[in-house]
Structures are given as structure tokens and as C-alpha cells.
Amino acid sequence: MSDILNPLRRVWSKNRTALNAWVAVPSILSAEAMASAGWDAMTVDMQHGTADYADLLRLLPIIEKSGAAPMVRVPWVDEAHIMRALDAGALGIIAPMIQNAADAERLVSACHYPPQGGRSFGPVRARLAWGNDYPARANEELVVLAMIETAEAVDDLENILAVPGLTGVYIGPADLSAAHGHTPGFDPTEPEIVELIEHIRSRTAKAGLKCCLHCGTPSYAREAEAKGMEMVTISSDARFVEAGAKQVIAEFRQ
């Protein structure tokens, strides 16, 4: 167990639900403030967040130093973005808008060195961050999560889950809700979406893979944990700042 390189996999080896931070702001100071809270993993969002590749090189060392697993949500299922994030030192990739098994196969291939995949060799920073044996261990250490957030993905879920090398799925409730005719947002309560999330979780568990959920509040995340989610994300750094500022102003003006 102690030989596991990836902090997120160490959490899972203890049968514990991991708590993931969402980093939308590419600031060294805010990343350090977030990291000080003691998350199990921290994900830099390069899809809807504002970080670029240069920011990634500044943020990943902060996450590593905190002891959390450094993760990246890439902008799309794109081999170049995925491989560059991994070479920079990310130990996990979350890929958005996975529609079908073919998308999942592309994702998995980009994350794994041959013969398991087609990742090009060149761990320019990953080797410095994780040791000279990183290339030999990367395939078994990396966490590869396909986002399930469209009607097409739900329809092809069984085939997506059957893709070898996939670690699990990451449910995006906002797009999932929008795809089924509901208002997009976190912590959905509509029976259709609640049942759909449970459907995804149960099928993922049956396949022996990890199921993760993006949440807006700790209470919703605790409920998700109780239902069997293996990683929960709560809000984001930008939303924490917004909520904290509003709370201070509201208390002052009262």
C-alpha cells in the first residue's frame, strides 16, 4: 500500500471516498490557500477554468507539495492536451464530453504508454516530480476518468465502462441535467436526474470501476458518499471566494 505513488489511489486502497478540490483560478496564492485545507486530490480545470499550460506548470508543484493527487480536466478528448498535462506531472486526467466507447478508447490510449496505449514518450517534468521509474509505473498509477454528462454517453454507458484501462467515470450534473431537459446546476434534486446518477453509479460499480460526482455543497457530497460515490468534488475555488465575499458583506450590512 505504501508503495502506491498516486495519492488518490492510496485513498481508494483504504476503501475511503476521496475529496477533490476544483481549481478554476490559475493563481499561485489561491492554489496554496486551497491546498492548505487538506484535499485528497486537486483538479486544475482547463475546460471551463481559466488556466493555460504555463499556469499548469506553476500549479501542479503546489498541489504535489500539499500531498494531494494532481489532476487535470483537459479541454476536450484531445491527445495533445492529455499528453502534455501528463508530461507536466498530472497523475490523473478527467476528460469532458465522452460520448461513446470510441471517445473513451481515445482517452485511455492517450494516457497509457505502449503496449497498453499510444502515449508518446517524453515525461519532461513528470519524471522529475515522480522519480526516474515513473515511465515504468505510469500506466498503473494514472487515474483516467471519462465524464458522463450527455444523453449519448448514458446510452452507450455499458460500452464505455468496458473499455480496458479506464479507471472510472466522473459525472457532470450540470450538462447531464441540461441534456435531459432540466436547468443545469449542481446538486440536482429532480427525480429523473437523481435516478440517472444512481443508474450511472450502480453500473459503474458493477463494472468494477470508480464513480465520481461533482457537487455544490458538503451535504450533497456526504449523501453521495453514503450512496457509494468514490470521489466527490465540492464547489470550486472561484465559488468559495464569491460565497465568502457575499457572506462578509451580508453580515456587515445586517
Task: Cite the active site residues.
Answer: 48
The owner of cell 460499480 is: 205
b/e map 51-69, b = 16+ CB within 10 Å: beeebbeebbbbbbebebb
| Residue 150 three-state SS | coil
SS (H, E, C) 157-202: HHHHHCCCCCCEEEECHHHHHHHCCCCCCCCCCCHHHHHHHHHHHH
Residue pair 67/7 in contact by the 8 Å Cβ criterion: yes
DSSP code, position 230: S
